[in-house]
């Protein structure tokens, strides 16, 4: 048995050879087109390539199926698997152009994400003001409480022992020199905290809630120090010009963190995974928006507050900005975006 086969030399012995001969050109062409799309974009393709792409993709995909069932050449199957995977992600994972993503974010994504988080946001706002009130009354009744809430470095002399004149000076003195740098520093620092509040939500929201709580305590403690010296309206103006935006932004990013924590702890009818994913994407959009809000707050604090020293004007600007945010997030009619 098994005598030497009397085949002519150009007849393929195994399926892989036959198969390669029949389709190799298509695969190579798909490889070339996909490489081009990866390097540049779909717009760099010529019209012929663009028209050929879907059918080449399907041909290669069916080559993969056939190869798996008829050929034993592992290198061939691996090659086809990788090529199909790359082609799949170029065809189905097409990116929305950057500017469309950006306009979509401002027109629809951002406000609707914030709107979806309204319960958590309300909770964070209530928590902030609750904690502020608590700190305020504690310190008004016993000023030593101040030192257990605020670390020494942060106070910079603004503690209960400071004189009214010194406190007043901190509210109105201009730091002309490094104004812009100061504003930028505040923006990056606060944004980092906002991102942190978002990420900490994963630990069942507990650290996020603590962060918001502490933020409120700090606010109340400073307010108490100034109010004790009869500077309540002045400090209100000082805080409001940027604080409405800043506190709102911190509350939104806290709300984003809480949403994630709640989705993981209490997924409801959805699976824990699905629930986490849905919450994560909404929350991430809201958090990215909070970073933008903090940039605005940084500008208001670093530049607006340093140049405007009238209490009334400070409060007016702070309220106007708050109204603008509220109407953008909650009152604006949203047009449904076609795809994200």
Site residues (CB under 8 A) for other proteins, limited to 64-93: 64-65, 68-76, 78-79, 81-82, 84-86, 88-90, 92-93
Chain residues 255-274 in contact with other proteins, contact rule CB under 8 A: 260, 273
Chain residues 282-321 in contact with other proteins, contact rule CB under 8 A: 282-285, 287-288
- Four-residue CA torsion sign, 228, 230, 233, 235: negative
Q: Between residues 137 and 178, which has the closer beta carbon with respect to other proteins?
A: 178
Q: Between residues 280 and 318, which has the closer beta carbon with respect to other proteins?
A: 280
Give the CA distances from residue 223 to residues 82, 136, 146, 308, 312, in Å, rounded to whole numbers and listed in that order: 62, 7, 11, 20, 18
Asked if 80 and 27 count as a contact pair (C-beta separation under 8 A), the reply is yes
Asked if 294 and 249 count as a contact pair (C-beta separation under 8 A), the reply is yes
Q: Between residues 119 and 281, which has the closer beta carbon with respect to other proteins?
A: 281
Chain residues 107-126 in contact with other proteins, contact rule CB under 8 A: 109, 113
155-163, 193-201, 222-230, 325-333 -> range binding other proteins (CB under 8 A): 193-201
For residue 165, state whether it binds other proteins (rule: CB under 8 A): no
Size of the site for other proteins (CB under 8 A): 90
Q: Please report how close the Cβ of residue 33 comes to other proteins at its closest, in angstroms.
A: 13
Asked if 242 and 318 count as a contact pair (C-beta separation under 8 A), the reply is yes
Q: Between residues 86 and 140, which has the closer beta carbon with respect to other proteins?
A: 86
Q: Between residues 147 and 202, which has the closer beta carbon with respect to other proteins?
A: 202
Residue 304, exposed/middle/buried by CB under 10 A (0-12, 13-18, 19+)? buried
Q: Judged by CB under 8 A, which of 137, 178, 266, 330 binds other proteins? A: 178
Q: Between residues 24 and 173, which has the closer beta carbon with respect to other proteins?
A: 24
Q: Please report how close the Cβ of residue 87 comes to other proteins at its closest, in angstroms.
A: 10
What is the 8-class DSSP label of residue 290?
A: H
Q: Which two tokens stand for residue 188?
A: 């990056």
What is the 8-class DSSP label of residue 239?
A: H
Phi-psi region of 157 (alpha: psi -120 to 50; beta: other; left: phi over 0): left
- Cα distance between residue 163 and residue 147, in whole Å: 17
10-18, 128-136, 148-156, 220-228 -> range binding other proteins (CB under 8 A): 10-18
Q: How far apart are the first and last CA of the chain?
A: 66
The site map against other proteins for 27-46 (x = CB under 8 A) is: xx--x---x-xx--x-----
18-26, 45-53, 218-226, 312-320 -> range binding other proteins (CB under 8 A): 18-26
Q: Please report how close the Cβ of residue 94 comes to other proteins at its closest, in angstroms.
A: 6
Q: Judged by CB under 8 A, which of 188, 271, 307, 327 binds other proteins? A: 188
Asked if 190 and 105 count as a contact pair (C-beta separation under 8 A), the reply is no
Q: Please report how close the Cβ of residue 177 comes to other proteins at its closest, in angstroms.
A: 7
- Cα distance between residue 54 and residue 87, in whole Å: 10
Phi-psi region of 4 (alpha: psi -120 to 50; beta: other; left: phi over 0): beta
Q: Judged by CB under 8 A, which of 14, 126, 169, 265 binds other proteins? A: 14
For residue 25, state whether it binds other proteins (rule: CB under 8 A): no
Q: Judged by CB under 8 A, which of 184, 204, 303, 332 binds other proteins? A: 184
Sole residue written with tokens 């097409």: 94
For residue 340, state whether it binds other proteins (rule: CB under 8 A): yes
| Helix ranges (DSSP H) in 45-151 | 47-70, 74-92, 98-104, 110-116, 118-141, 145-149
């Amino acid at each position: 048995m098994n005598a030497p086969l009397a085949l002519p030399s150009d007849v393929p012995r195994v399926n892989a050879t036959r198969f390669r001969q029949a389709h190799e050109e298509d695969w190579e062409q798909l490889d070339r087109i996909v490489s081009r799309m990866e390097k540049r974009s779909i717009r760099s393709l010529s019209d012929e390539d663009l028209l050929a792409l879907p059918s080449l993709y399907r041909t290669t995909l069916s080559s993969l199926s056939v190869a798996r069932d008829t050929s034993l050449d592992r290198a061939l199957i691996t090659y086809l698997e990788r090529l199909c995977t790359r082609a799949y992600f170029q065809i189905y994972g097409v990116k929305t152009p950057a500017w469309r993503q950006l306009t979509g974010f401002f027109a629809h994504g951002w406000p609707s994400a914030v709107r979806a988080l309204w319960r958590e946001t309300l909770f964070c706002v209530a928590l902030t003001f609750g904690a502020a009130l608590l700190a305020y009354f504690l310190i008004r009744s016993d000023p030593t409480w101040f030192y257990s809430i605020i670390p020494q470095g942060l106070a910079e002399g603004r503690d209960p022992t400071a004189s009214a004149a010194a406190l007043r000076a901190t509210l109105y003195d201009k730091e002309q020199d490094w104004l812009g740098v100061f504003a930028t520093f505040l923006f990056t620092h606060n944004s980092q905290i906002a991102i942190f509040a978002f990420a900490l939500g994963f630990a069942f929201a507990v650290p996020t809630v603590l962060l918001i709580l502490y933020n409120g305590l700090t606010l109340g403690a400073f307010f108490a120090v100034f109010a004790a010296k009869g500077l309540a309206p002045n400090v209100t103006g000082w805080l409001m010009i940027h604080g409405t935006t800043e506190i709102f932004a911190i509350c939104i990013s806290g709300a984003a963190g809480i949403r994630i924590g709640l989705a993981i702890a209490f997924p409801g009818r959805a699976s824990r995974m699905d629930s986490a994913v849905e919450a994560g994407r909404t929350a991430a959009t809201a958090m990215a928006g909070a970073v933008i809000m903090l940039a605005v707050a940084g500008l208001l604090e670093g530049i607006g507050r340093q140049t405007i020293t009238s209490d009334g004007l400070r409060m007016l600007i702070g309220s106007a900005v708050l109204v603008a945010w509220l109407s953008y997030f909650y009152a604006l009619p949203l047009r449904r975006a076609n795809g994200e």
